[in-house]
Chain A
């Protein structure tokens, strides 16, 4: 079933029962709905981002697909196999990257850790060695000393790279990456993001990538699923999502000049804000639905009226705007 799609999730529901203390010795049970009917799909050759705040249900979704959590209802298929009924077949098709900080044996080197997990994933001696050599080079772990440094001496960035290397050990066609750049320094985070994009676009893998970082989601993901309180509130490419919100976009200019700025602005048939300072500097923000239509015209008018353009740009709504718009609707 669903052989052509990498991941198919249909109406997954997951509830947790949490004990809540109400008195000295008494407690009640509270039901927390971690997933309330989540549905989506992921194709081969794309990076799909699962974007949401802490507690939204991102990790729960990953765990269901990684066969680490049984949903209460709904169906999920990975590489065409049902995650509940055929978990062993699913496990042969996935590579996972969970918490970056934990998940390795401290007294083994990076290479030794990979060798251990390669055995778990069924790689034989020679294939295992070749694959590990390749991955260590790909993730620049040789340069960082993965061959001789014990895991407990690794920095967080190194652990993240090693974690990705482990996810790639069996060269699985589907990768489930749970906040892979959390806590990393910018160079390490950027390297991970570049690799993730290559794995999807160059190698044809299907990647489900969870993050709460809107900026990162926009950089990495081909499509985004916004999740909040256990449901998908919106889905689409980053651009599609931004265009769906009714927020006006902004043409933002910093100009300098002594002439009357009203001569330029009064002719505009739209809302704008102006801030001026003593040095004849003006900060102008023009709110408009389609800024591309008026951008060149506005710049030309300012120049014709004797103003110097210090800077001019079009401000887009951010994914944060998108997220807030869709989540407040819930």
Chain B
């Protein structure tokens, strides 16, 4: 256990120094992110009813972007990290070292969360400029924590599936971008399920992602979920555990596959 923590800390220190402290990229990334929010959010004002409270819209935007950022972290920080390892020629060393991927990911997880935190800070400021300070209030802290925990489990499972697919079949960056765009939308991650058409609602409830999203939206915005709370909590946990179990099995299978067949070459994008 101590060894694991030490290894994870070494990874955390390396990435924190290179990506957060020494690299200007952190600041530039936040600036870029704020411009992208402006690009996507400003056309939405053209649809808005002037009578609608802009702060409510801002709060909705805030929550949607929060969930989108988490999906982004799972895709681009966790799953894509494997892609970078292949491109840099590091993956084989990881496998041959016997330490596995767990220390590495335990190390980069805090980095992702720090980045999401700062990104949401910037998000808050940009939305305040466009619409006004988002009307956020923590209605139920325990549900918020539960929702975030469920989201984390689901995203780890998603990253394992995407990452496993990448190392065994070299998924292109473009496919990853498509997935990271469509997945949160199609699974009710970004929009309250009550606002989705019925078929899409049904589909979203068959995926694990919609449950944490509904719980988070309820606990920050007060929007009632489409499913009763006991069901929401129980089904959310069941889905998350099943998803994680499947993804771990899948990832192990892909590792065995590359030990037999070798890693796939990937392009830069």
Contact = CB atoms under 8 A, between A and B. Distances in A.
Q: Do A and B come from one complex?
A: yes
Q: From DSSP, what is the main secondary structure of chain A's interface residues?
A: loop
Interface of B: 21, 265, 267
A26 to B, nearest CB: 12
3 contacts: A25-B21, A106-B267, A152-B265
The 3 A-B residue pairs with the shortest CB-CB distance, nearest first, are A152-B265, A106-B267, A25-B21
Nearest to B267: A106
B197 to A, nearest CB: 42
Contacts of A25: 21
Interface string A17-55: 000000001000000000000000000000000000000
Interface string A300-319: 00000000000000000000
A25 B265 CA distance: 37
Q: From DSSP, what is the main secondary structure of chain B's interface residues?
A: loop
Contacts of B267: 106
Interface in A133-161: 152
Interface residues of A, number: 3
A236 to B, nearest CB: 42
Contacts of A106: 267
A25 B22 CA distance: 8
B61 to A, nearest CB: 36
Contacts of A152: 265
Contacts of B265: 152
A152 B170 CA distance: 15
Interface in A104-126: 106
Contacts of B21: 25
B249 to A, nearest CB: 33
A106 B268 CA distance: 11
A152 B268 CA distance: 13
A106 B267 CA distance: 9
A18 B21 CA distance: 20
A86 to B, nearest CB: 36
A104 to B, nearest CB: 14
B69 to A, nearest CB: 28
A152 B267 CA distance: 10
A294 B267 CA distance: 65
B17 to A, nearest CB: 9
B27 to A, nearest CB: 15
Nearest to B268: A106
Nearest to A24: B21
A25 B20 CA distance: 12
A106 B265 CA distance: 12
Interface in A152-181: 152
A69 B21 CA distance: 32
A114 B21 CA distance: 43
Interface string A75-113: 000000000000000000000000000000010000000
A152 B264 CA distance: 13
Nearest to B265: A152
A182 to B, nearest CB: 18
A30 B265 CA distance: 39
Nearest to A21: B22
A25 B21 CA distance: 9
Nearest to A25: B21
A125 to B, nearest CB: 31
A183 to B, nearest CB: 15
Nearest to B17: A24
Interface in A55-89: none
A189 to B, nearest CB: 24
B268 to A, nearest CB: 9
A159 B265 CA distance: 18
A159 to B, nearest CB: 16
A54 to B, nearest CB: 21
A129 to B, nearest CB: 29
A25 B267 CA distance: 35
A101 to B, nearest CB: 12
Nearest to A152: B265
A152 B265 CA distance: 10
